[in-house]
Amino acid sequence: MSSEPSPYVIEAEHFAVGYGERTILHDITTKIARGSVTCICGGSGCGKSTFLRSTIGLVPHKGGSVRVLGEDVNSLDDDARSEFLSRVGFMYQNGGLINSLTVLDNLKIPLMAHTKLPDDVIEELVYHKLAQVQLTHAVHLLPGELSGGMLKRAGFARAMVLEPELVLSDEPSAGLDPVTAADLDALMIRLKEELGMTLIVVTHDLDSIKRIADRIVMLDKGYVKFDGPLNEALNCDLPLVRNFFARASNEGHPGVQSLWQKYRD
């Protein structure tokens, strides 16, 4: 392990990854600062999920380098890799829970895999995490018994259960109504501040981007096309960036938003 904590959670230089013969990310150079919230944006299929997965070494490396939490992800031995993975939480789009296990048992898995704590301590830690996402009442429920918003909160709790420095989240607001999406954003930001985490979030939800992002990294065809603060992104003249935000704002469907408003009141 590196002795000095790096000020960056990600340092990618001409980083390239792909599947089989196919290169998906051709040349990614970016630095993501510790403590920030970065939204990874771009059209469908441009490699956003691939980027997230590649930062934990899940996509074959094809060139350049990436350091995550100061570690060269692609050259860790098994022990170092396990230690590294305990420092990074991954929040999957569908919550990432095992359907046949209760919320409690799902959240115990990372603690059992990465610590030698006794079972009662593990359960206490799980209850504590579930309290942080207001889900203690759901501890004995199965994932299939949770609402969409609860499932995301359980997935977030699972991603955070080892108190990681970095949480990666793939489209957290997908499938949620606007009110539940806003609540989830508020929860993620509050806990990010309280726990001193860094968040990297793949999203094309403009409302969400405006609420949470410090920085935008926009990908296109495997290259970084924009990398800068939210304000600069919103005022950027590049057609790709302008079109992305124009489309993203239409995807909010103002008509649907007002329907939600009507039925909530």
Ligand X SMILES: Nc1ncnc2c1ncn2[C@@H]1O[C@H](COP(=O)(O)OP(=O)(O)O)[C@@H](O)[C@H]1O
Residues making contact with Mg ion (CB under 5 A): 49
- Whole-number Å distance between alpha carbons of 167 and 21: 30
Least Å distance, CB 93 to ligand X, is 10
Q: Is there binding between residue 47 and ligand X (CB under 6 A)?
A: yes
Scan residues 128-167 and list those touching ligand X (CB under 6 A).
Answer: none
**Residue placing its CB nearer to ligand X in the complex, 204 or 215:** 204
Q: Which does 3 bind (CB under 5 to 8 A by kind): ligand X, Mg ion, none?
A: none
- Closer to ligand X by CB, 49 or 173: give it: 49
50 binds, among ligand X, Mg ion, none (CB under 5 to 8 A by kind): ligand X
Residues 6+ apart with CB under 8 A from 254: none
Instruction: Give the C-alpha separation, 152 to 180, whole Å.
Output: 10
Q: How far is the CB of 67 from ligand X (least distance, A)?
A: 21
Q: What does 192 bind: Mg ion, ligand X, none (CB cut-off 5 to 8 Å by kind)?
A: none
Looking at the Cβ atoms of 41 and 197, the one nearer to ligand X is 41
Per CB under 6 A, 54 contacts ligand X: no
Q: Among the residues of the chain, which ranges form H helices?
A: 48-55, 78-85, 103-114, 119-132, 148-160, 178-195, 206-212, 230-234, 239-251, 254-264
Amino acid at 4: E
Q: How far is the CB of 198 from ligand X (least distance, A)?
A: 20
> What residues does 217 pair with on adjacent strands?
40, 227
| Contact set for ligand X, span 7-26 (CB under 6 A) | 19, 24
**Of 47 and 164, CB closest to ligand X:** 47
- Any contact of residue 55 with ligand X (CB under 6 A)? no
Figure out which of the listed residues 21, 44, 116, 264 binds ligand X, where binding follows CB under 6 A.
Answer: 44
In this structure, what token pair is assigned to residue 254?
């103002």
Which DSSP symbol is given to 175? Answer: T
Does 57 interact with ligand X (rule: CB under 6 A)? no
- The torsion angles phi and psi of 107, rounded to 5 degrees, stand at -75, -20
Task: Identify the DSSP state of 215.
Answer: E
Binding segment (CB under 6 A) for ligand X, from list 37-45, 107-115, 121-129, 151-159: 37-45
Residue 44 interacts, among ligand X, Mg ion, none and using kind-specific CB cut-offs from 5 to 8 Å, with ligand X
Position 217 contacts ligand X (CB under 6 A): no
Among 58, 70, 251, smallest CA distance to 173 is for: 251
The answer to whether residues 73 and 244 touch, using CB atoms and an 8 Å cutoff, is no
Among 12, 28, 39, 46, binds ligand X (CB under 6 A): 46
* Cα–Cα distance measured from residue 174 to residue 2, given in angstroms and rounded to the nearest whole number: 36
Check binding of 247 to ligand X (CB under 6 A).
no
From CA 217, how far away is CA 228, in angstroms rounded?
A: 7
Alpha-carbon dihedral sign for residues 77, 79, 82, 85 = negative
Point out which residues bind ligand X (CB under 6 A): 19, 24, 42, 44-50
